[in-house]
């Protein structure tokens, strides 16, 4: 279907359903005891079962992934539901259609209803039309535009935790005026088909949409004064950062006027509180001028930046907005908060709750996080931590972990090009083989297969990546990722406003080695621990540039490794394929200023990692084999 989209509405979490003087009611329905005969529950696409359309309920969802019953104002009398995962039948299109409504004055038409909905491969739509025999012609309003996978309607934690019920308020005047006339129908459409997918699985088997206490009238239901701190606000560059790597934290947010009157002036305040003592350790603010109803003050930097002490501690940052000289009668949407931690050694970007994610178009993929290290000298990358939800399906399979040292996106193409990374490839790598017991468990391994770690440098980005190559092109791997953190505002603040480069997560489909960077949501659980010495204190350091070189590259049947060492050394050469499997393991004696050859004739064409270990240090080189 081709829909005209309208997003002309205001959303709020609080509303009294009671009707006030002077209000003209065009439609009011509380589904007291069932679906009235004047309403129509229509299955447009489905399997013909009773649960393939909207149904009346007093108990709520009954599918495998129940979101619980709606806590609407009149829930005791029942409500309407489309329970998608109770009917996992493929494409689903179900309409709940009102009786015909007469509206003579289209200048003010407001829809209010109570809702409980969670998104997964579907769309929740409001449809308005005049012809029951031509549903294609009906106008479309996205009920919850911008809602993400597995998210609820806007709630207490930016959609990841539900507001139940969510009270929807929409000014539909423009939609009705577009249609024209006086006789209308309004409908609630649940749609799951090939156009609504975002999770790599087919349509249907989503969650549920529940609605109750519907009122269509000419009255603006909003409070006169209702300022809102929107969900777009900047957070720290990391949720957990080592004490040695603290950097200034700046602040940016969007505020909006959700009320019915113009607010002449408002103030946004940011407070940073030490979570242990409860003391406020930093405060800054910004004053705003006039903000009219339904308007947003976007992308405003708030006051000064804050640099935490370089000692372990936990902090809570709270943004709040208040109108100057007026009383905001709805305080439920005036604040947004987040927590961050200064740790001993740990970098982390994600935060619980975690959800499994997989690549959409390819069973094989690479995924990881980007960490900026301002003060790397004398420190080492030591350990990494990751987690997966389907390890029980991966017994005996191996993943490769890679660490890149990166100068940042110097050419501005949004990709970590190999020309921008140290050595032209990963500086260290490791692998992990599943035994099947690791479902939803944190897996911690050294960043380096030789148990050495990697010496860090100042002002570099370190990209920590998990690479999975499906053995048959079908078996997938599900990485755990945090869904309650969105670095979108932080990215805008750092990269666009302050001109300070920052990146968050990195991704590549298939076996592509150049990763797209900058993803700001669904951040994988991929921690990095750093320390002031290698994992094994007497382990040799990284070989200097020029100590070993590989030629030609790409290679065909023979790879040459030329050495320029200070002293004669025993040399180990290990070659790994992109799945982390060791394919060549060779040792050589008394190597100093000479060249050794490695037979690569038996290797299939593709990319490999060559790990060279000497008495003077180690070096990893990326090698391409082309026969």
Q: Which domains does the chain have, with CATH numbers?
A: 5-217 (2.60.120.200), 227-343 (2.60.40.10), 348-531 (2.60.120), 548-625 (2.60.40.3080)
Q: What is residue 441's three-state secondary structure?
A: coil
Tell me how far CA of residue 364 lies from CA of 55, 282, 432, 473, 520, in angstroms: 41, 45, 16, 7, 21
Q: What is the pLDDT at residue 241?
A: 98
Contact call for residues 170 and 75 (beta carbons, < 8 A): no
The pLDDT value given to residue 157: 40
Question: Which SS3 state, helix, strand or coil, does residue 243 take?
Answer: helix
Q: Please report the pLDDT score of residue 10 as a whole number.
A: 36
Phi and psi torsions of 198, nearest 5°:
-145, 0
pLDDT at res. 593? 95
pTM of the model: 0.76
Cis geometry, peptide bond prior to residue 32 (ω within 30 degrees of 0)? no
C-alpha angle 405-413-299 in degrees, rounded to nearest 5: 100
Distance CA 182, CA 198 (A): 38
Please list the ranges in the chain whose pLDDT falls under 70. Answer: 1-21, 155-162, 198-201, 536-541, 579-580
Where b means 16+ CB within 10 Å and e means fewer, 234-272 reads bbbbbbbbbbbbbbebbbbbbbbbbbeeebeebebbbbb
Strand partners, 145: none
Q: Is residue 618 exposed (0-12), middle (13-18) or buried (19+ Cβ within 10 Å)?
A: buried
Please report the pLDDT score of residue 1 as a whole number: 28
Phi-psi region of 518 (alpha: psi -120 to 50; beta: other; left: phi over 0): left
612 and 573 Cβ atoms separated by less than 8 Å: yes
> How many CB atoms are located within 10 Å of the residue 578 CB?
18
Question: What's the pLDDT tens digit per position in 424-482?
Answer: 888 888 888 899 999 999 999 999 887 778 999 999 999 999 999 898 889 999 999 99
Contact, 542 vs 454, CB < 8 A?
yes
Strands, sheet with 296-301, edge to edge from the N-terminal-most edge strand: 227-233, 252-257, 296-301
Q: How far apart are CA 45 and CA 95, in angstroms?
A: 10
């Amino acid at each position: 279907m081709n829909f005209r989209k309208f997003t002309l509405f205001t959303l709020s979490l609080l509303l009294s359903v009671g009707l006030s003087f002077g209000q003209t009611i065009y439609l009011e329905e509380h589904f007291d005891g069932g679906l009235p005969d004047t309403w129509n529950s229509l299955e447009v696409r489905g399997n013909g079962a009773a649960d393939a359309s909207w149904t009346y309920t007093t108990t709520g969802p009954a599918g495998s992934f129940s979101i619980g019953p709606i806590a609407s104002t009149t829930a005791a009398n029942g409500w309407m539901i489309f329970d998608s995962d109770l009917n996992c039948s493929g494409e689903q299109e179900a309409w709940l259609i009102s009786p015909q409504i007469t509206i003579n004055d289209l200048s003010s038409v407001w829809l209010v209803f109570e809702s409980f909905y969670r998104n997964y491969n579907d769309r929740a739509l409001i449809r308005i039309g005049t012809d029951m025999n031509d549903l294609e012609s009906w106008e479309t309003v996205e009920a919850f535009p911008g809602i993400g996978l597995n998210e609820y309607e806007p709630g207490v934690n930016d959609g990841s935790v539900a507001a139940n019920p969510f009270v929807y308020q929409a000014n539909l005047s423009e939609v009705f005026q577009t249609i024209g006339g006086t006789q209308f129908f309004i409908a609630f459409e649940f749609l799951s088909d090939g156009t609504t997918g975002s999770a790599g699985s087919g349509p249907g088997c989503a969650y549920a949409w529940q609605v109750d206490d519907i009122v269509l009238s000419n009255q603006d239901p909003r409070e006169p004064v209702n300022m809102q701190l929107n969900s777009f606000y900047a957070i720290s560059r990391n949720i957990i950062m080592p004490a040695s790597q603290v950097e200034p934290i700046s602040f940016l947010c969007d505020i909006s006027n959700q009320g019915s009157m113009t607010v002449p002036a408002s103030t946004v305040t940011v407070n940073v509180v030490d979570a242990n003592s409860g003391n406020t350790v930093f405060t800054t603010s910004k004053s705003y001028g006039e903000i009219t109803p339904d308007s947003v003050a976007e992308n405003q930097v708030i006051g000064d930046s804050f640099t935490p002490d370089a000692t372990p501690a936990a902090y809570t940052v709270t943004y709040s907005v208040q109108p100057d000289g007026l009383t905001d009668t709805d305080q439920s949407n005036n604040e947004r908060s987040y927590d961050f931690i200064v740790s001993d050694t740990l970098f982390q970007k994600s935060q619980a709750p975690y959800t499994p994610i997989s690549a959409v178009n390819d069973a094989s993929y690479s995924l990881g996080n980007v960490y900026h290290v301002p003060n790397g000298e004398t420190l080492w990358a030591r350990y990494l931590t990751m987690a997966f939800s389907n390890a029980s399906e991966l017994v005996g399979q191996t993943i490769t972990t890679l660490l890149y040292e990166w100068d940042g996106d110097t050419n501005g193409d949004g990709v970590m090009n190999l020309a921008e990374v140290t050595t032209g490839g990963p500086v260290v790598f490791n692998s992990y083989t599943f035994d099947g017991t690791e479902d939803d468990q944190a897996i911690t391994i050294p960043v380096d297969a030789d148990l050495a770690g990697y010496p860090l440098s100042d002002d570099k980005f370190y990209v920590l990546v998990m690479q999975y190559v499906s053995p048959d092109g079908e078996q997938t791997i599900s990485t755990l990722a945090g869904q309650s953190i969105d670095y979108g505002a932080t990215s805008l603040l750092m990269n666009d406003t302050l001109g300070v480069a920052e990146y968050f997560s990195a991704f590549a489909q298939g076996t592509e080695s150049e990763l797209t960077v900058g993803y700001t949501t669904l951040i994988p659980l991929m921690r990095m621990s750093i320390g002031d010495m290698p994992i094994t204190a007497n382990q040799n350091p990284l070989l200097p540039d020029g100590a070993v070189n590989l030629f030609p590259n790409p290679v065909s049947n023979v790879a040459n490794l030329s050495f320029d060492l200070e002293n004669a050394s025993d040399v180990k050469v290990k070659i790994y394929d992109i799945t982390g499997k060791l394919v060549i393991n060779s040792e050589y004696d008394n190597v100093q200023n000479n060249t050794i050859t490695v037979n690569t004739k038996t290797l299939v064409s593709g990319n490999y990692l060559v790990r060279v270990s000497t008495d003077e240090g180690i070096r990893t080189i990326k090698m391409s084999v082309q026969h």
